[in-house]
């Protein structure tokens, strides 16, 4: 499934990255990373979950590192 998403995303002209964080019951900060693009097969806007990353630190540097890691 991830290979299919990566393949469609690589053929998309543009994409955007969305992220949102939350704290789970064990007080671990987690960042949800999504990608949004126009699917080249259907020409429909598509939003796909890229990954969920635990944050090392809940600041700008930690969020940036989580997003970069989640998009690899």
Convert the pLDDT of each residue in 13-27 to its tens digit: 999 999 998 887 777
How confident is the prediction along the chain (72 residues), in pLDDT tens digits per residue? 568 888 888 999 999 999 998 887 777 889 999 999 999 889 999 999 999 999 888 889 999 999 999 888
| Closest CA relative to residue 56, chosen from 40, 69, 43 | 69
Task: Output the CA torsion 67→53→44→2 (10° steps).
Answer: 110
pLDDT of res. 26: 74
pTM: predicted TM-score of the whole model, two decimal places: 0.80
The pLDDT of residue 1: 59
């Amino acid at each position: 499934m991830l290979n299919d998403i990566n393949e469609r995303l690589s053929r998309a002209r543009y994409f955007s990255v969305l992220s949102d964080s939350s704290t789970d019951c064990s007080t671990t900060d987690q960042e949800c990373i999504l990608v949004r693009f126009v699917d080249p097969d259907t020409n429909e806007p598509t939003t796909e979950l890229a990954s969920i990353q635990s944050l090392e630190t809940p600041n700008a540097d930690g969020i940036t590192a989580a997003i970069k890691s989640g998009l690899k």
